[in-house]
Amino acid sequence: MNTKENPVIDPAGKGARMDPQRIARLTGVLFVITYLASIPPVLFLYGPLLDDPRYILGGGAADNGLALGALLEVITLVAGIATAVVLYPVVKRVNEILALGFVTARVVEGAFIGVGVLSVLSMVTLRQEAAGADAGSLLAVGASLVALYHWTFLLGPGFVVGIGNGLILGYLMYKSALVPRGLAVLGLIAGPVLLARFVGILFGVFEPMSVLGGLMVVPEFIWELALGIWLIVKGFNPSAVASLSTSPGDGVLTGIDQPATVPSNGHSVPTKG
pLDDT of residue 89: 95
Q: What is the mean pLDDT of residues 164-184?
A: 97
pLDDT of residue 79: 98
The pTM is what?
Answer: 0.84
Using DSSP, state whether 9 is helix, strand or coil: strand
pLDDT of residue 51: 85
What are the tens digits of pLDDT across the range 151-162? 999 999 999 999
Q: In this structure, how many other beta carbons lie within 10 angstroms of the beta carbon of residue 268? A: 10
pLDDT of residue 50: 87
pLDDT of residue 161: 97
Least confident of 98-102, 139-143, 241-245: 241-245
Q: Which residues are bridge partners to 18 per DSSP?
A: 9
Burial label for 136, CB within 10 Å (0-12, 13-18, 19+), is exposed
With vertex at residue 73, the alpha carbon angle to CA 67 and CA 79, rounded to the nearest 5 degrees, is: 140
pLDDT category of residue 266 using cuts at 50, 70 and 90: very low
Q: Write the Ramachandran bin of 132: left for phi over 0, alpha for psi from -120 to 50, otherwise beta.
A: left
Cα separation, 121 vs 141, in Å, equals 13
What are the tens digits of pLDDT across the range 27-73? 999 999 999 999 999 889 998 888 888 888 876 555 788 889 999 99
Cα separation, 118 vs 164, in Å, equals 23
pLDDT at residue 127 tops 70: yes
Residues 231, 28 contacting (CB under 8 angstroms):
yes
Cα separation, 101 vs 87, in Å, equals 12
Q: Ranked by mean pLDDT, which of 57-66, 125-134, 219-228, 238-247 comes out on top?
A: 219-228
Cα separation, 187 vs 219, in Å, equals 8
How far the first Cα of the chain sits from its last, in Å, is 20
- Return the higher-pLDDT residue of 138 and 114: 114
Cα separation, 154 vs 150, in Å, equals 6
pLDDT at residue 189 tops 60: yes
DSSP state, 29?
Answer: H
Residue type, 258: Q
Mean pLDDT of the residues in the chain: 86
Q: What is the mean pLDDT of residues 157-171?
A: 97
pLDDT at residue 77 tops 50: yes
